[in-house]
Amino acid sequence: MKKLSFSVIVSFFALTSVLAQEKAIEKKASSGNPIFEGWYADPEATIFKNKVWIYPTYSAPYKDQLHFDAFSSPDLVNWTKHDNILVSADIKWANKAMWAPAIVEKNGKYYFFFAANDIQSDNESGGIGVAVADKPEGPFKDHLGKPLIDKFYNGAQPIDQFVFKDKDGSYYIIYGGWGHCNIARLKDDFTGIVPFKDGTNYRSITPEGYVEGPVMFTRKGKYYFMWSEGGWTGPDYRVAYAVGNSINGPFKKIGTVLKQDPAVATGAGHHSVIQIPGKDEWYIIYHRRPLTETDANHRVTCIEKMEFDKDGLIKPVTITKEGVAAGSFK
């Protein structure tokens, strides 16, 4: 009888704990900003299997940037952390500054693009690499055994890659630091570059004010090209954009859509964009620096709604502490 009573008591408290946790989750009506804990920057956001996935840079001194974590959510509010989806031990040529990932799914495989080593010239080892996994949470392994892009072309440092699938099914890599942005067409298996019809491999599409962090998406037949401006360590880091009729532009700068609010946070930039499938509902995911922080690497990942006016221009985004309400991706 005593054993039965003890068992019942334990079950009761276990059930009470579960119900309390469920109630706490129900009460969390908005994401808040930042959306998860830790120093993370340069977030790449996408949707896989009815969940939003965010792949950020681990924001730390270059020598300590030797791994990537990921975060997933079914509703933009409750997030699960996936540790060490890619580590430098599995990328023999990477030894520091593993940055700014991009990811795509193709034929059941997940291809993870990243920069490493912060090379300063063509005489150094590093650049943009590719890793592959069977699941969005990895583990990812080196796809090539060497960088995909390891040289400066058109003045663009090989960092900050974004991978875009055009309407004809072709994949393009858009990348570049040091104020220069290139576009190149990727081979179908992501092992190399396909030359353009004029024989060139890398085409400059650098818009006015570009510094780094390119992003591209389409809406209602238009190509939206976005990028970051200013210095990443300073308060004036921000996001600007242009609109074109094709992936090759031309892209003329329209204006700034995301910037600091001295009452909320500074250094708002290096973002990504997601759309709820089947709806004209958009979100911008970005990093910023809390007002309490002065360390350049103390950056956090945040989210806001992104809206368009009647002419298709992006409305200026207001950065908030509240974030966004829960959403569904089914």
Domain chopping of the chain, boundaries: 34-306
Residue 265 in this model has a pLDDT that exceeds 60: yes
**Confidence at residue 203, expressed as pLDDT on a 0 to 100 scale:** 97
pLDDT of 43 over the 70 cut: yes
Catalytic residue (choose from 44, 118, 160, 212): 212
Least confident of 4-13, 188-197, 255-264: 4-13
| Listed residue (120, 136, 114) closest to 58, CA to CA | 114
Average pLDDT, the chain: 92
Q: What is the pTM of this model?
A: 0.91
Give the whole-angstrom CA distance, residue 285 versus residue 41.
10
- Average pLDDT score over residue span 32-49: 97
212 is catalytic: yes
Q: Which of 42, 69, 137, 229 is catalytic?
A: 42
Active site residue 37: no
Mean pLDDT in residue range 121-132: 98
For residue range 90-117, list pLDDT tens digits in order: 999 999 999 999 999 999 999 999 999 9
pLDDT greater than 50 at residue 18: no
Superfamily of chain region 34-306: Glycosyl hydrolase domain; family 43 (2.115.10.20)
State the burial class of residue 259 (Cβ atoms within 10 Å of its Cβ: 0-12, 13-18, 19+): buried
pLDDT score of 15: 42
- Give residue 27's pLDDT: 55
